[in-house]
Amino acid sequence: MKKSNQQFILIALTLTIVIVYLFVTAPPPLNNEQELDAQLPVEFVLHLANEENKIVRKLYTKEIVQAGKKIGIKFHEKWHKESVVAGMLPAQFLRETAMYLEKSPVRLGLYLGSQYPINETNLIEGLQATEFSKLNNTQQDVFFNLAADETFVFMSADVAVVKACVTCHNEHPETPKTDWKLNEIMGATTWLYPKKKISSKDTLLLLSELRSGFKYSYQLFLNEVKKMPKHYSIGNKWPRDGNYVPSTDAFMEQFSNLTSHSTMEKLLAYIAKNN
């Protein structure tokens, strides 16, 4: 079979599987006939994951947290406590997603690190601190290997894009820094993976599990909304429309509309170019 024909078949098969994994809420498991040989550099895959994370955090921050506060929805860092009825903050949305990934079949690590964290466990140290300095100076993502742990690390700037984030950190009683400014790099979204290469099949599983993590985190928020004394109608409408909150399916559908085409396009373009 000619190489051009092999590429065509590979791309067509990849397209089919990508559509299933990125547009279907609960994709079926891949079987042996669907396995793909294409090996992707983990830096590229983590970049895709990071882009999806940026979009879901922006969606949650602006359309749920900011708009939600205007209709009386409460958000609090101690939302987990039984005595507190409130939604999670954007950073905690990422943390819940990360905790979901820890229990998933993919070996993907995720956390927010900072040189000035409110929680000391999020302090950036060692080689990561050195790489973060590069990121902070250039405002460009960094990718490197923690040789001792055989772990590959992708770090992307966590920027204060809304005033509420700046105010919250500056006024927090345990903050080590009180002069954060809008659009300043506050830390880094950090991704970890144990291999330098990842198959197309595992890439799709990774992205699927990441999206399941987003869905899980949003459902936790909805669980809190249902406990609130004020009634909010849960369905297809959003807080900007009134006393409404999108359902999990509506939230994920909007997220998918914002990301799936771009993710699929980048995957197919890379595979077509390198296989």
Task: Classify residue 7: in a domain, yes or no.
Answer: no
Task: Classify residue 18: in a domain, yes or no.
Answer: no
Whole-Å CA distances, 20 to 11, 14, 29, 216, 235: 14, 10, 10, 19, 24
Task: Classify residue 32: in a domain, yes or no.
Answer: no
pLDDT of 26 higher than 60? no
pLDDT of 83 higher than 80? yes
29: pLDDT confidence band, cut at 50, 70 and 90? Answer: low
Task: Classify residue 89: in a domain, yes or no.
Answer: yes
Range of the domain at 253: 40-258
Number of domains forming the structure of the chain: 1
pLDDT of residue 153: 95
Higher-scoring residue by pLDDT: 251, 184? 251
Task: Classify residue 226: in a domain, yes or no.
Answer: yes
pLDDT of residue 12: 45
pLDDT of 8 higher than 80? no
Task: Classify residue 268: in a domain, yes or no.
Answer: no
Task: Classify residue 81: in a domain, yes or no.
Answer: yes
What value does the mean pLDDT take over residues 263-269?
84
Six-digit token string for 7: 């590429």
Task: Classify residue 34: in a domain, yes or no.
Answer: no
pLDDT of residue 74: 95
Task: Give the pLDDT confidence of 53-65 residue by residue, as tens digits.
Answer: 999 999 999 999 9
Among 54-63, 113-122, 138-147, the range with the most confident prediction by mean pLDDT is 54-63
